[in-house]
């Protein structure tokens, strides 16, 4: 990189050319910085995250409502969070895993009879499973119920929870 120190007219004559070397150096540094940072900023996965705090769940009559909690193994009336035994309720009726599978399969068979066969199934008339799990229930209990209901043929399984205090939602269920 050469620099102009003056013209041939004499040493005392003022220089009329602009020295562009520092400007080019700064531009090259900025170009390198932008080339490094832009790919990092642009490499993201485009997602539309659900707005759970304000989502209202509508319960259809054909939906299956399940409640799960830890079984009382101590005999003191309080659920034991360390217990692996679970209590599953279909509505208000306690069921074991075999009864849960049979009831789920029977519910879907009855639906097929009512609507006239599998060709008439739509997303609107297919029942969902709504699970209400106690906060102290081990995941293996809830996971077992999810697996059983999927094995029975249900495709949509959701969880019912209470909104956080101060979230601005109201319970209408």
- Based on the number of CB atoms within 10 Å of its own CB, is 40 exposed (0-12), middle (13-18) or buried (19 or more)? exposed
pLDDT in tens, the chain (173 residues): 555 555 565 677 777 788 889 899 999 999 998 888 777 666 554 545 444 555 566 677 788 888 888 876 555 556 555 666 888 998 888 899 999 999 999 999 998 888 888 888 888 888 889 888 887 788 898 899 999 999 999 988 888 776 656 665 544 44
Domains annotated on the chain, with CATH: 52-159 (3.30.420.270)
d(CA 167, CA 90): 30
Q: What is the pairing mode between strands 64-70 and 129-133?
A: parallel
Contact (Cβ atoms closer than 8 angstroms) between residue 158 and residue 149? no
Helix (H, G, I), strand (E, B) or coil at 144: helix
Please say whether the beta carbons of 53 and 163 come within 8 A: yes
Starting at the earlier edge strand, list the strands of the sheet with 64-70. 93-95, 86-90, 64-70, 129-133, 157-159
Residue 147, phi then psi, degrees to nearest 5 = -60, -45
Global pTM reads 0.59
């Amino acid at each position: 990189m050469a620099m102009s120190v003056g013209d041939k007219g004499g040493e005392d004559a003022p220089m009329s050319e602009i020295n562009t070397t520092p400007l080019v150096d700064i531009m090259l540094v900025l170009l390198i910085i932008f080339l490094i940072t832009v790919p990092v900023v642009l490499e993201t996965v485009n997602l539309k995250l659900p707005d759970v705090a304000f989502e209202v769940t509508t319960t259809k009559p054909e939906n299956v409502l399940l409640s799960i909690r830890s079984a009382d193994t101590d005999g003191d009336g309080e659920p034991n969070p360390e217990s692996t035994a679970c209590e599953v309720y279909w509505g208000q009726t306690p069921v074991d895993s075999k009864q849960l599978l049979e009831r789920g399969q029977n519910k879907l068979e009855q639906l097929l009879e009512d609507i006239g066969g599998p060709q008439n199934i739509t997303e609107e008339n297919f029942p969902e499973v709504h699970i209400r799990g106690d906060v102290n229930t081990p995941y293996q209990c809830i996971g077992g119920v999810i697996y059983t209901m999927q094995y029975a043929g249900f495709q949509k399984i959701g969880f019912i929870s209470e909104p956080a205090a101060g979230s601005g939602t109201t319970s209408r269920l």
